[in-house]
């Protein structure tokens, strides 16, 4: 009886083992929670060709914008754990939304499998060139003089741009109005036309327009200056002591993703992030490659969730 049970268990496990042994055998989709043209989309597409070559199968980027990345995240949460549907997660979707949203139908830490952190992205505080502000404190002074009139755009509620603006608001006691968009593409259209006053947006989204003289860079929100704009101060240097807000992305799959598939994907994305051409492209876009082990990425998500929870609560921002 024991031998029969053992043989039965082995026969049931055999198909699953075969599926992981020949992985991948068909195209893989990477779901992005923001519109085409935004930084998450640009970065993911920059990785795509080399990631595809590493895996030996096409990698297709699928945009599912909305709800600060929650729509894309939930799609991947409910996908089969076979390695053919992955998520390019962001700090907003993975570490901020669990506090920002009153109720989520999933838990990023419990319902996803970390594969690897991918990049840390430089954000830049920019204003349209027709605005009179030439420093962060000029902007803050305007917001204090006329509360609730200065507007800041973000690529979605709960994203790094939203919380970066909320943190600036709270640390300077300068009441500002948040205007969320469904990604960096729609955001940049209204920012360039002057419909909003400023944004703490990703370098891939705004840097070309800074270089073209259409947007003015006032500061970066990171603890140290960016090599992309070495003459632009940090927000802390510009007068808001202690200010720091970083932005990062990472690759994940559904819960229960088999360990051999996780290892295969981790090796492929790590090799991609070490490819010289990919590294050069990412750095031009303001993204720094940050490959990691699955375990290190999971621990990073946990730390960032804990870090941002009190900031989100202090901002008073909530979403039903």
- DSSP string for residues in 81-147: SSSSEEEEEEHIIIIIHHHHBS--SS-HHHHEEEEEEEEEE-EEEEEETTSS--SHHHHHHHHHHST
* pLDDT over threshold 90, residue 267: yes
What is the average per-residue pLDDT within 209-226?
A: 95
Residues 6+ apart with CB under 8 A from 196: 151, 152, 153, 179, 190
Q: What is the pTM of this model?
A: 0.80
Q: Name the average pLDDT for the chain.
A: 91
Tokens read off for 25: 């055998």
Instruction: Report the alpha-carbon distance of residue 257 to residue 251 in Å, rounded.
Output: 13
What is the average per-residue pLDDT within 172-195?
A: 92
* pLDDT over threshold 80, residue 273: yes
Condensed to tens digits (0 to 9), the pLDDT of residues 62-88 reads 999 988 899 999 999 999 999 999 999
Give kind and range of the element (H or E) at residue 307: helix 294-315
Give the residue, 157 or 99, on which the prediction is more confident.
99
Architecture of domain 123-219 in this structure: 3-Layer(aba) Sandwich (3.40)
Question: Does residue 85 sit in helix, strand or coil?
Answer: strand
Architecture of domain 26-121+246-315 in this structure: 3-Layer(aba) Sandwich (3.40)
Q: Report which DSSP code applies to 233.
A: P
pLDDT value at position 5?
46
Q: Report which DSSP code applies to 275.
A: -
Band the pLDDT of 147: cuts 50, 70, 90: very high
Q: Which residue shows structure tokens 């929870």? A: 309
Tokens read off for 20: 């992981």
Instruction: Report the alpha-carbon distance of residue 164 to residue 243 in Å, rounded.
Output: 9
Give the residue, 92 or 318, on which the prediction is more confident.
92
* pLDDT over threshold 50, residue 13: no
Do the bridges between strand 247-254 and strand 85-90 make them parallel or antiparallel, or are there none, so unpaired?
antiparallel
Band the pLDDT of 219: cuts 50, 70, 90: very high
- Phi and psi (nearest 5°) for 119? -145, 160
- Asked if 71 contacts 33 with a C-beta cutoff of 8 angstroms, the reply is yes
- Asked if 20 contacts 238 with a C-beta cutoff of 8 angstroms, the reply is no
pLDDT-above-90 percentage for the chain = 73
pLDDT value at position 183?
80
Residues 6+ apart with CB under 8 A from 264: 23, 24, 55, 83
* pLDDT over threshold 60, residue 16: no
pLDDT value at position 245?
87
pLDDT value at position 19?
58
Q: How far is CA 183 from the centre of its chain?
A: 11
- Do the domains spanning 26-121+246-315 and 123-219 agree at the CATH topology level? yes
Band the pLDDT of 8: cuts 50, 70, 90: low
Instruction: Report the alpha-carbon distance of residue 89 to residue 108 in Å, rounded.
Output: 9
pLDDT value at position 225?
93
Give the residue, 5 or 251, on which the prediction is more confident.
251
Residues 6+ apart with CB under 8 A from 19: 82
pLDDT value at position 313?
86
pLDDT value at position 234?
97
Buried b (16+ CB within 10 A) or exposed e, 190-201: bbbeeebbbbbb
Give the start-to-end residue ranges of the domains of the chain.
26-121+246-315, 123-219
pLDDT value at position 119?
96
């Amino acid at each position: 009886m024991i031998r029969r049970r053992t043989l039965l268990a082995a026969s049931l496990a055999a198909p699953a083992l075969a599926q992981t042994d020949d992985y991948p055998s068909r195209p893989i989709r990477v779901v992005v929670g923001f519109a085409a043209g935004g930084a998450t989309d640009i970065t993911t597409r920059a990785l795509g060709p080399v990631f595809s070559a590493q895996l030996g199968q096409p990698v297709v980027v699928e945009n599912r914008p909305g709800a600060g990345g929650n729509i894309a995240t939930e799609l991947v949460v409910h996908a089969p754990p076979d390695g053919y549907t992955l998520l390019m997660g962001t700090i907003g979707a993975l570490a901020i939304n669990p506090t920002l949203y009153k109720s989520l139908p999933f838990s990023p830490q419990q319902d996803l499998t970390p594969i690897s952190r991918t990049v840390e992205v430089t954000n830049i505080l920019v204003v349209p060139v027709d605005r009179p502000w030439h420093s962060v404190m000029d902007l803050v002074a305007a917001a204090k003089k006329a509360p609730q009139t200065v507007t800041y755009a973000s690529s979605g509620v709960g994203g790094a741009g939203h919380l970066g603006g909320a943190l600036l608001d709270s640390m300077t006691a300068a009441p500002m109005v948040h205007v969320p968009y469904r990604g960096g593409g729609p955001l940049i259209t209204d920012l360039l036309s002057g419909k909003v006053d400023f944004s703490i947006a990703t370098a891939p989204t705004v840097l070309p327009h800074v270089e073209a003289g259409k947007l003015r860079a006032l500061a970066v929100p990171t603890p140290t200056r960016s090599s992309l704009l070495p003459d632009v101060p940090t927000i802390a240097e510009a007068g808001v002591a202690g200010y720091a807000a970083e932005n990062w992305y990472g690759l994940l799959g559904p819960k229960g993703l088999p360990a051999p598939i996780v290892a295969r994907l981790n090796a492929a994305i790590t090799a991609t992030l070490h490819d010289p051409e990919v590294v050069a492209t990412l750095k031009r876009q303001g993204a720094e490659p940050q490959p990691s082990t699955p375990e290190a990425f999971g621990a990073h998500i946990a730390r960032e969730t804990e870090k941002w929870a009190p900031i989100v609560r202090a901002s008073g921002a909530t979403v039903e």
